Each structure stands twice: as C-alpha cells, then as structure tokens.
Structure 1
C-alpha cells in the first residue's frame, strides 16, 4: 500500500473510532469529558513507559485506559460531592495532565515521548513506524492499534447497544429496570480512553477532541435514531480525514490540523443547513409561522 493510502486509511480509522464513540458522549452531555480524557491519558502513557520501560503499544493502551477511567472516577467523585460537573472536569484534567507533563520532563527526556507530539500528533511519520505480526507483512503500528480498538469498540457497542442507548437517553429509567448505569458509564470511558491513545500518533491529544465530538454533533443534527447517528458520524469522520489530507497536501500544512478543521467545517455546514435542526431552516420556519 502506498504512503498516501496508509495516511488516508489510518486517518479514516481514527475518524470512525472517534466518531462512533463520541456519539454516546454527546447524548450524555459529556463532550468536555472527552477533552479531559484526551489530556489525562498522557499521564497513563508516561506511567506505562516508566513501569515497563517499553514503548510497546499494548502497554500504552493499558496505561491510557486506566488513566481515562481514573479521570472519569475522580470527576464523578467530585461531582457527587456537590461540585459542579464542569468545575470537576477542569480541576481533574488540568492536574493529571500537568503531572504527566512533569513526568515527561523529569524521566522521559531522551525518549520519543515529547509533549508537542503528544498534543499535536504527526500522522506524516506514522506509515514509517512499522511492525510485523506473524506471517503478515509489515504494517504501520498505528494501523494495527486503531484496527484493534475499532473492533473492540464495535464488539462492545454490539453487545451492550441496548444498555448504552437507554443509559444515554434516560439513566433514571435504566437504573429502575436494573441496568448497572455506573458500570456502563465506566465501560464507555474505557472506550474513549482506548480510542484516544490509539489516535495519538495520528492527531494528538488536543485534535482528537475534534474527531470525538464534531462528527457526532453533526450527525445529531441530522437524525433522531441512534443507529443512523452512529453511521453518519463514522461517515463524517472518514470524509474529514480524506478531505483534510488533500487540503493539507495542497497548502503544505499540518495534516492532522486540517483533518480536525474539516470536521469543524462539516459541523458548521450541517448546523446551518440541516433540514430540521439547521439555523437557516429554523429561521425560515419561524418566518413562515409569523406570516401565516
């Protein structure tokens, strides 16, 4: 597979993984928690390296997942103690992210774990970071990680679709009929953590937030069915990855930055022109009512 095709495939996998996971965050009004987790997984990655002394993706994935779950736990703990949810998120993610940055500065100066790469990502180099599994040909590590995480996410959504759906729309009813709401919540946070760290090499900790939120938010404005929302969000993620790459190539700018920017453009277009929830259609409907 060509260099260009690898970037398109890896970017698309990141878009799909982030898009379908982000839908549930949007429905639960937890969009900013994605921002928190995308930062705090840095601490998990650093601790995984310090403990294992290895940059193996499997250790990174475990460390990031644990850090994401701890973030969700601490936010939930502070919120249940009476602190506003947005304040809880702000306190937890800034503290844990800062600890991660300090640990990188102290113990990982000579390792490929710099803060700029973790924040912004660099998909340009991803096709050259190759690994080989058994008899399979060499493939980019990011491709294997994103493929594995996408499969895990799809399996979890398939197995717990009803539980995820009910707890997202009506957690009180879910608790009343015996669904373990907190367990499903932490399961989702684990999915977000895995997806975030798998996307690190592609888009970085900051730009992954755009892929987690923008496609799902655009899909939310176009449908009221969760299954359709998931498909639309995945489609928008792929579209943003492909268009973003060619825009970046044309203007010779950051590929991951363009992918995230195209996500924003897609959302803006849907926000304006959505047939039912778009700004223009709403204004037109209001004017029509006034005239009548």
Structure 2
C-alpha cells in the first residue's frame, strides 16, 4: 500500500472506532468524560513508559485503560460526595493531566514522548514505524493497533448490545432485571480509554475528542434508532477522516486539525439539513 493509502486507512480506523464508541458517550450524556479521559490517559502512558522504558506495546494500552478507569472512579467518588459532576470532571482530568505533563518534562525528556505529540498527534509519521505481521507483511504499528482496537470495540458492542442499549437509556430498569450496571459502566470506560490511546498517533489527545463526540452528535440528529446511529456515526467518522486528509493536502496544513474541522462541517450540515431534527426542517414545520 502507498504512503497516502496507509495514512487514509489509519485515519479511517480512528474515525470508525471513535464514531462507534462516541454513540454511547452521547446517549449516556458523557461527552465531557471523553475530554477527561483523552487527557488523563497521558498519565497512564507515561507511567507505562517509565516502568517498561518502551514506547510501544500492549502495556501502553493497559496503562491508558487503568488511567481511564481511575478517572471515572475519582469523578464518581467526588460526585457521590456532593461535588457537581462537571466540576469533578474538571478537577480530576486537569490534575491527572498535569501530573503526566510533569512526569514527561522531568522523567521522559530524552525519549520520543513529548506533550505536543500527545496533544496534537502526527499521522504523517505513522507509515514509517512498521512491524511484521504474518500473512500481511510490513504494516504500520499504529494501523495494526487501531485495527485490533476496532475488533475489540465491535466485539464488545455485538456481545453486549442489549446490555449497552438498556444501560444507556434506563440504568434503573437495567439494574432491576439483573444487568451489572456498574460493571458495564467501567467496561465502557475501558473501551473509551483504549480507543483514545490507540488514536494518539493520528489525532492526539485533544483532537480525539472531536472524533469521539462530533460524528455521534451528527448521527443523533438523523435517527432515533441506536443501530442506525452506530452505522451513521462510524460512517461520519470515516468521511471526516478522508475529507479531512484531502483538505489538509489541499491547504498544506495539519491533518489532524483538518479532520477535526471536517467533523464540525459534518455536524453543521446535519444540524441544518436533518429531515427530522434539523434547523431548516423545524423552521418549515413551524
């Protein structure tokens, strides 16, 4: 595959994975939690590096997942003790992110791990860091990791589709029929964490929020069925990745920034043109 082909494939995997996970963030009204986890996983990545002294491997995903779950636990703990949830999210993620930044500056300064890379990402470097996979040959490490994460996300959605659906819309009903609501919640936080860290090389910690939230928010305007919303959100994520790359090539600008900008364009079109919930449709109805 060509250099451009690997970039487009990697960006599409980011858009698809984030789009699917983002649906449940929107339905559970946890959009800000995506922002929190996308920043706090930096601490998990740094700690994993300090323990292993390796910048790639499964330990990075494990560290990120642990950091994401710790973030969710701390937010829930503060909220249960009277702190407003948005305030709890702001306090927890800024503190954990700051600790990660300090550790990078003081302990990992001589490694290829820096705050700018974690925040912004750089997808143009992805095709150069390769690994050998049986039957596939040399493929970029980031692309392989994202493909594995996508399989995990798809398997989790298919295996627990009924549980995700009930716990997203009515946690009280889910608990009454024996579904482990708390366990499903933290399993979901783990999915958000690994999806976030797997997307670091492509869009970074800040812009991954756009890929997690905006395609799903756009899909929410087009349909009231969760299954259709999942398909639309994944499609919007891939569309944003591909169109964003084309815009970046045309303007000679940041690919990750152009991808995030495109998600905004998709949302704007959805907000205006959705036949049921769009602004134009509401104006015509009234």
User: Structure 1 length normalisation: TM-score?
Assistant: 0.97
2:200 is aligned with 1:200: yes
Aligned-partner SS, 2:109: coil
1:260 corresponds in structure 2 to 260
Q: Is 123-132 or 201-210 further displaced after alignment? A: 123-132
Aligned-partner SS, 2:277: coil
Shift in Å at residue 136 of structure 1? 3.7
1:235 corresponds in structure 2 to 235
In 1, Cα distance between equivalents of 2:69 and 2:103? 20
1:63 corresponds in structure 2 to 63
Shift in Å at residue 135 of structure 1? 5.5
Q: Flag structure 1 segments of 5+ consecutive residues without an equivalent.
A: 287-292
1:289 corresponds in structure 2 to none
Shift in Å at residue 134 of structure 1? 4.2
Counterparts of 1:1-292 in structure 2, within 5 Å, are 1-134=1-134, 136-286=136-286
In 2, Cα distance between equivalents of 1:69 and 1:151? 20
Aligned-partner SS, 1:132: strand
Cα distance per residue 1:20-71 (max 9 Å; x no partner): 0010000000000000000000000000000111112311111001000000
Query: CA RMSD for the aligned pairs?
Result: 0.8
Aligned-partner SS, 2:275: coil
In 2, Cα distance between equivalents of 1:35 and 1:57? 24
Q: Is 255-264 or 53-62 further displaced after alignment? A: 53-62
In 1, Cα distance between equivalents of 2:155 and 2:253? 36
Shift in Å at residue 98 of structure 1? 0.2
In 2, Cα distance between equivalents of 1:27 and 1:204? 24
Q: Count the aligned residue pairs.
A: 286
Cα distance per residue 1:114-162 (max 9 Å; x no partner): 1000000000111111111346411101111000000001111111110
Change over 3 Å in CA distance of 1:220–1:59 after alignment to 2: same
Shift in Å at residue 80 of structure 1? 1.1
Shift in Å at residue 15 of structure 1? 0.2
User: Structure 2 length normalisation: TM-score?
Assistant: 0.99
In 2, Cα distance between equivalents of 1:68 and 1:87? 17
In 2, Cα distance between equivalents of 1:133 and 1:233? 30
In 2, Cα distance between equivalents of 1:3 and 1:107? 34
Shift in Å at residue 201 of structure 1? 0.1
Aligned-partner SS, 1:113: coil
Shift in Å at residue 93 of structure 1? 0.2
Cα distance per residue 1:244-264 (max 9 Å; x no partner): 001100100000100110001
Q: Is 133-142 or 15-24 further displaced after alignment? A: 133-142
Q: Flag structure 2 segments of 5+ consecutive residues without an equivalent.
A: none
In 2, Cα distance between equivalents of 1:79 and 1:234? 32
Shift in Å at residue 283 of structure 1? 1.7
Shift in Å at residue 81 of structure 1? 1.1
